[in-house]
Amino acid sequence: MKLKESTMKRSCFGYLAILTILALAASACGDDGGEPDPADTQPAASEEQAGTEPDPPATTQAPASSEDNPSEPVTIGLLYSNSGAGGVLGPPAERALRLAVQDINAAGGVNGSEVQIELADTATDPSVGRDAMARLVSDDEVDVVIGIHSSATREAARPLAEEFDTLYLYGSLYEGAECSAVMFNAGEVPAQQLGPAIPWIMERTGGTKWFLLGNDYVWPRESFVAAKRFIEAAGGEIVGEQYVPLGTQEFGDVLADLAAADADLILPALVGGDAIAFELQAPDYGVGQDEVARLANIYEEGVLAAMGPELTAGMIVSLGYVKEVDTAANSEFVERYVSEFGTDFPPNTFAAHVYELALLWADAANDAGTTDATAVGSAMKGRSIDSVRGTVTVTESRHLAQPVYMVEIASDGEQVIVETFEHLDPAESCDL
């Protein structure tokens, strides 16, 4: 069936992103708790879309199918947060997958078959996400699943991918340590996001005293375990560490403690509306960006726009992709993205991961001559592609060696890349 084009036309990303994310602030935000009732936010129906075909990317050319015996379509399932607290991440992920599928089909598809898409919304709820995964792997019988959602949803959905022997490609930045025979992980892990960034920003600012603030679930907690090692190795110290429930909107007590700690640097691992609420209140306690420098590892463009440049100017964000990456391939990618979808919800690090995972999988499936999970998984290990941000490589640990960018937010809200760490190893292990 054909994907239905969205009838909603958004004219201005900054305006609508602010409305969208501030609306999320009223709900519980994050991964492991306080998420919407599944009855209130049901997943969207799956869809497929055919698009115009751009010039083929540099991937393995698929074998031609026989005209006398046309092949069945190959299906990529997208398990993603498209509603609920994390719904702001949905549109860039879906749009990037549509562009990737255009590229794959323009190059001949997968083993001569046309590629189509099935969408499954997790509603930012692990139980809904599990049901959505069950539909993809059991009812829809997709050939592969790409995931952009919380760690809690990943934990709920992975057993189904294992049961149905379906490759599950996870594209969200996360805490690391995932190891499964059906999984590959493209998201930034602490060794990539924080390992080089912490000594870099300490040298840049002269700060040594850190305050760690995160939502109370696995990603911030495990990320901070790694951060403490990096801070100690760089000669820094921890002067405060606090966790707040997902959905926190009142930060007065935390900010009072932060002001009393006399920190030089803050590592805020806060999700969506929580991050916005924290930064809006921080200047009232004398701990805004002008007073205490931030190193943010999940403040993507939508969240930053909702905060506003008067609060974010000077912040440093560590991410694996921003739309300002200076490559010819990225310029073409962003131009295609904007031309087809508009300027609202621009491509972010999650979108880049979806795009790359789809191309990597198709490339491996064409080399393997099959979509069998075991065969394609073997073909993916060690595979590199030249993507929108340069070369990325699947390591033996089933993670991605990739660049990470230090991005400074300018006074007008623009993102400026001030340092690039090329082709960082994830420092993960998975002996399968």
SS3 180: coil
Provide, rounded to the nearest whole percent, the portion of the chain with pLDDT above 90: 75
DSSP notation for 190-258 = HHHHTTTHHHHHHHHH---EEEEEEESSHHHHHHHHHHHHHHHHTT-EEEEEEEE-TT----HHHHHHH
Q: Which pLDDT band, with edges at 50, 70 and 90, does 29 fall under?
A: very low
Separation between Cα atoms, residue 392 and residue 135, nearest integer Å: 31
Is residue 229's pLDDT more than 80?
yes
Tens of pLDDT, residue by residue over 105-120, are 999 999 999 999 999 9
Residue 70's pLDDT is: 52
Q: How far is CA 56 from CA 74, 106, 171, 268, in A?
A: 18, 5, 23, 40
Tokens of 427: 């420092």
Q: Which pLDDT band, with edges at 50, 70 and 90, does 67 fall under?
A: very low
DSSP conformation class of 30:
S
pTM (2 decimals)? 0.83
Tokens of 413: 């809200």
Tens of pLDDT, residue by residue over 237-247, are 999 999 998 88
Tokens of 26: 């009223």
Tens of pLDDT, residue by residue over 345-398, are 999 999 999 999 999 999 999 999 999 999 999 999 999 999 999 899 999 999
Q: How far is CA 391 from CA 91, 239, 352, in A?
A: 25, 38, 12
Tens of pLDDT, residue by residue over 169-190, are 999 999 999 999 999 999 999 9
Pick the CATH number of 13-188+324-403 from 3.40.50.2300, 3.20.20.70, 3.40.50.880, 3.40.50.300: 3.40.50.2300
Domain ranges of the chain: 13-188+324-403, 191-320+407-424
CB atoms near residue 1 (< 10 Å): 9
Residue 23's pLDDT is: 40
Separation between Cα atoms, residue 262 and residue 63, nearest integer Å: 63
Tokens 């190893």 correspond to what residue? 425
* CATH 3.40.50.1980 at 191-320+407-424, yes or no: no
Strands 115-121 and 144-148, by their bridges, are: unpaired
Residue 412's pLDDT is: 96
SS3 406: strand
Arithmetic mean of pLDDT over the chain: 87
SS3 318: strand
Q: Which pLDDT band, with edges at 50, 70 and 90, does 66 fall under?
A: very low
Tens of pLDDT, residue by residue over 407-429, are 999 999 999 999 999 999 999 99
Separation between Cα atoms, residue 76 and residue 61, nearest integer Å: 18
Residue 51's pLDDT is: 39
Is residue 344's pLDDT more than 80?
yes
Q: Which pLDDT band, with edges at 50, 70 and 90, does 62 fall under?
A: low
Separation between Cα atoms, residue 248 and residue 244, nearest integer Å: 7
The amino acid occupying position 418 is V
Is residue 227's pLDDT more than 90?
yes
Q: Which of 31-45, 100-114, 292-306, 320-334 has the lowest mean pLDDT?
A: 31-45
- 236 and 210 Cβ atoms separated by less than 8 Å: yes
- 367 and 354 Cβ atoms separated by less than 8 Å: no
Backbone angles phi, psi at 167, to 5 degrees: -60, 140
Q: Which of 37-41, 231-235, 328-332, 342-346 has the lowest mean pLDDT?
A: 37-41
DSSP notation for 90-158 = HHHHHHHHHHHHHHHHHTT-BTTBPEEEEEEE-TT-HHHHHHHHHIIIIIS--SEEEEES-HHHHHHHH
SS3 59: coil
Separation between Cα atoms, residue 323 and residue 346, nearest integer Å: 8
Is residue 55's pLDDT more than 50?
no
Tell me the angle at which helices 90-106 and 349-368 cross, rounded to the nearest 10 degrees: 30
Tokens 């590629």 correspond to what residue? 115
- 229 and 257 Cβ atoms separated by less than 8 Å: no
Q: Which has more pLDDT, 36 or 217? A: 217
Tell me the angle at which helices 252-261 and 272-281 cross, rounded to the nearest 10 degrees: 60
Q: Which has more pLDDT, 273 or 24? A: 273
Separation between Cα atoms, residue 96 and residue 355, nearest integer Å: 5
Q: Which has more pLDDT, 252 or 33? A: 252
> How much is the average pLDDT of 94-103?
98
